Amino acid sequence: MGASGNDKTIVVLSDSLAYYGPQGGLSADDGRIWPNIVGQRLGRRVELFGRIGWTSRDIWWAITQDPRIWAALPHAEVVVLAYCGMDSLPSPLPTALREQIRYLRPNRLRQWVRDGYGWLQPRASKLGWPLALPPRVTVEYLEKVRSAIVQLRPDLPIVLCLIPTHASPYYGNVHSGRVAMTTAMADWARANNVPTVDFYPVTREEFADHPQDMNPDGIHWGFRCHSEIAGVVVDGLTDLLESVPDSPDDRSADKPGGPTR
């Protein structure tokens, strides 16, 4: 979490793109990741919630189950939805099955299955289908998240980040689902008066022009990319935050629990 001298808070719901750098995962208070750069530039504290591999479905589960998010939302000035990129990636093995690999026993069987998946994934990804989540399902979860936030804080602004791209050999360098996913997200945002910022142009240029600075996995970003992404988010938040009252509405703090499912 970024630090500042006040209690004005930006809540970021994300996946690992928010906290991975060119060599791997970083702590939530690292000043080089884009959420904290945004907080530093805008003079706000940042509450970052995310995990590697999270899809929009995982974000929905998080806001209905994680009491840290329940505690953060009543004090937020704005919520930034910075996920759905994983939703758009080719996933030849259904996500639910893939996530069960870690539970296989004995260890030798788990490693055998994992190696097999590692061989199959980049090859089958070249088909470009199926996606981890279809666009219509992603939109359904976006609406669930929005509705839950509105239930707790009708006044709370929400900003949606349109998805980045990748250049990952683990996904066969295929991202054919990006356009359909971005279109569905943008349509949903317009229908619900949710402002958007777009991660695609920055990540396209960084992977094309500065691949040596990006993470070798072809998914996560270098620190220059984090800084550029922060600039995009700051541009999208500046006018919005100027219109937010100085004291966030804490009326929902008296409500027990979090969003209803």
Report the CATH number that the domain containing residue 171 is assigned in CATH.
3.40.50.1110
- ∠ CA 181-182-185, nearest 5°, is 85
Total number of domains constituting the chain: 1
Instruction: Give the chain's count of helices (H) and strands (E).
Output: 9, 7
At 33, the amino acid letter reads: I
Q: Is residue 47 part of a domain?
A: yes
Containing structural domain, residue 68: 9-90+128-254
Q: Is residue 141 part of a domain?
A: yes
Q: What is the pTM of this model?
A: 0.87
Name the pLDDT band for 127 (thresholds 50, 70, 90): confident
Give the burial class of 33: count Cβ atoms within 10 A of its Cβ; 0-12 exposed, 13-18 middle, 19 or more buried: buried
Q: What are the tens digits of pLDDT across the range 196-251? A: 999 999 999 999 999 999 999 999 999 999 999 999 999 999 989 987 765 444 44
Q: Is residue 143 part of a domain?
A: yes
Q: Which residue has the tokens 């996995």?
A: 217
